[in-house]
Structure 1
Amino acid sequence: MALLAMSMLLVSCATPENHYDPIEPVNRFTDGVNDAVDRVALKPVTQAYRDLTPDVLKRGISNFYDNWSYLNTVLNDFLQGKGKQGFEDFGRFLVNSTIGLGGLVDVASGMGLEKHEEDFGQTLAVWGVGRGAYLIYPVFGPNSVRKTPDFLTSTLTDGLFWLSFVISPQATLALTALKFIDLRSRAMSATNMRDELALDPYVFTREAWFQHRDYLIHDGKIPKKSQEDDWEEDDWGDEDWQGKGAADPIPPYRAETMRSEARSGLRSYHVNLSSHAIRREAEDMRRRLEEKGIHAEVAGVDVGGRHWFRVRLPELFSPQVARRKAEAMRELLPDLQGAWASPASGSGG
């Protein structure tokens, strides 16, 4: 009840001038405390975990926690009226929980059962609830009034929460600690980039968080009216898309199509970091990026009658965010001056 009362208070005190961050001083203080704890305790432990744990084991741990929290996605699939996706996601959970050795191995993706990310905050958005104020919670970090109730649904649908009633407190503590380390490890490259690039890390995190939430709510197809920036046609020149050093240039006619799609906001985009004619060179680049804390993947593409191997960020972004990510990567790493954005296949509206 106290949490509900606080949420109502924050909504009521929001004004046109501070409609999304009305308690910024409080949020900044909490963010500062969280950051201090992270720098002193969590980040050093996580860095040791990343350095000492084999990649295959880290992937297994991430898969394990993702799987046992996945019923929250299933529940919210159905609450949002996504019946087909809900049954597919439930099938994904069953496959990975059994054939996937309790979730350690992501067998379902290889069977064509795509992974989704849904939560009760997205459900409330689909139901028409406004996002309310931006909040920073101790330990848990960025959130909003609308997403806050997801604490309850995500906990009650987490298999490890119910497991805690039948295992020892020590085992529960160990599983919880490892979960936080795993989550921090996944965020390492993003926070490193923020710390390197942002003049104001608080604002950078807040805007990135809202953009990511907008992306999730609209399943990657963000309506133009929800984008906070106005992008002029001149902002989408060929050089912005290709990057100065792109090895597999985009034909002019394709660049024009991409600019049109970017303005419509109907497609999702990859951020490509480099392009290579030989896969071994692409894998070498990917490994170098991993050493710098940047998670990347290698994907083969056919462009201009030739086959290329692109090193790219694994996530999909809206056009605006993809362009900013590419610019940020070029600033962060001088040897990535060719970083550019390209549309994901099959993401058209």
Structure 2
Amino acid sequence: MNVIRTLPLLVLALVLSACAGKPARDSAPVSVEVAPAAAPAADVANTDAVPAEAVADTATEATQASTDPAAAPVTGGTAPTNAEDDFAALYGGPAPTAEGSEGGSAAYDPWEPFNRKVHSFNNVVDRAVARPLATAYTRVVPRFARTGVTNFFSNLRAPVTITNQLLQGRPDDAWDSLGRFLMNSTLGVGGLFDPASKAMVPRRSEDFGQTLGAWGWRGSRYVELPFFGPRTVRDVFGLAGDIPLSPIRTIEEDKIRIGLQGLQLVDMRSQLMALDDIRDNAVDEYALTRDAWLQRRNYQIENDLRGKHARGKDADDTAPIPVDAMPMPNWGN
């Protein structure tokens, strides 16, 4: 009877021994300890209720990061989401990286509660006014005419760009920008056409906020302004340096000046319509906008410091909203 009772145990032991002795394919040795089949519900709640799909996505992104430098973690050890990668690609810069964020670390946003309220206000204005106007603009105005409007306002920013390139100690770039401005203003019929690009003259966009960054004001806290949108404290001070250089703000006739400023805002908003789906589908649209904007801004300043400047279409459509685009009183006129 004892033999009969112990026979099943012997068979089970032999089976376990055979399984343990069988070499595993591409796997580490089997641990002696056995993990529980499933965590209790209370433990699952303590893991911030991360869905299985999110864990799978994180693992996939981590695998991609190990083989693709462009998919490196953003900050805080988390990989960028697909939306962030798309946003960075549309912005014309590299995929978000730890070195690409403002000051080389996580976004410096101590005013986040205030900034989120302003961001919500800006979104209401955008969805109620700016986006419908931009949509109607792209549907009614032909593409060639919209391109002419974009070229016109880009050409008007040349004095701001040239002055800031000189302030940054880049006379060669300032000379290129001056030649581009003269060529487009004459052969390009006031900037409506862009013969300078066909002549391989690089187009660049600079402002005083970038100049302050090149002078050493690198890390700066994030702030979102009503109507003006994303900024840093450094860029808010930069507005004061750009105001006197704005050709549009020298126009004393209010109707003409405000009309041009409104057209410029609609034109800028129409160029960002490709980002609307990404923003609308983002889990945290505020954080996505903030992080992508700071990374792009830091990317511009790093290029200024290293002397690496993109040729062709640069950051004209993704730079901060210029001060000359906002309908404001002409103080001093």
TM-score (norm 2): 0.59
Q: SS at 1:147's partner residue? A: helix
State yes or no: 1:63 paired with 2:159.
no
Inter-partner Cα distance in structure 1 for 2:141 and 2:129: 18
Aligned mates of 2:106, 2:197 — CA distance in 1:
42
Letter matched to residue 88 of structure 1: D
Q: 2:177 aligns with which of 69, 85, 89?
A: 89
User: Residue 218 of structure 1: SS of its match in structure 2?
Assistant: helix
Q: Is the 8 A contact 2:203 2:314 kept in 1?
A: no
Match of 2:257 in 1: 172
For residue 50 of structure 1, what is the aligned residue in structure 2?
A: 138
Once the two structures are TM-superposed, the CA of residue 315 in structure 1 deviates from its matched residue by 6.8
Deviations 1:246-266 (A, max 9, x none): xxxxxxxxxxxxxxxxxxxx9
Residue identity matched to 1:204? L
In structure 2, relative to structure 1, the CA distance for the partners of 1:315 and 1:119 (3 Å cut) is: closer
RMSD: 2.6
Residue in structure 1 matched with residue 296 of structure 2 by the alignment:
212
Please, which of 256, 259, 278 is the counterpart of residue 193 of structure 1?
Answer: 278
Corresponding position of 1:124 = 212
- Write the distance in 1 (CA, Å) between the matches of 2:156 and 2:294: 26
Q: Is the 8 A contact 2:107 2:291 kept in 1?
A: no
| Alignment of 1:108 onto 2:193 | no
Residue of structure 1 equivalent to 2:268? 183
- The worse-fitting range, judged by mean Cα deviation, of 200-209 and 98-107 is 98-107
CA shift for structure 1 position 70: 1.8
Give the structure with higher Rg (CA): 2
Determine the C-alpha separation between the residues in 1 that align with 2:309 and 2:268. Answer: 28
Structure 1 121/221 Cα, relative in aligned 2: closer, same or farther at 3 Å? closer
Residue type at the aligned position of 1:207: D
**Structure 1: which 4+ aligned runs deviate by more than 6 Å?**
none
What is the aligned partner in structure 2 of residue 329 from structure 1?
Answer: none
Q: CA deviation at 1:69?
A: 1.4
Q: TM-score, normalised by structure 1?
A: 0.56
User: Structure 1 stretch 59-68 or stretch 113-122: which is displaced more?
Assistant: 113-122
Secondary structure of the equivalent of 2:184? helix
Distance 1:129 1:214 in 2: 11
How many Å separate the matches in 2 of 1:51 and 1:123? 37
**Higher RCO (CA < 8 A, seq sep 6+):** 2
**Secondary structure at 2:230 match in 1:** strand
User: What is the alpha-carbon distance in structure 2 between the residues aligned to residue 38 and residue 115 of structure 1?
Assistant: 28
Alignment of 1:118-267 (within 5 A): 118-162=206-250, 164-165=251-252, 167=253, 169-196=254-281, 198-219=282-303
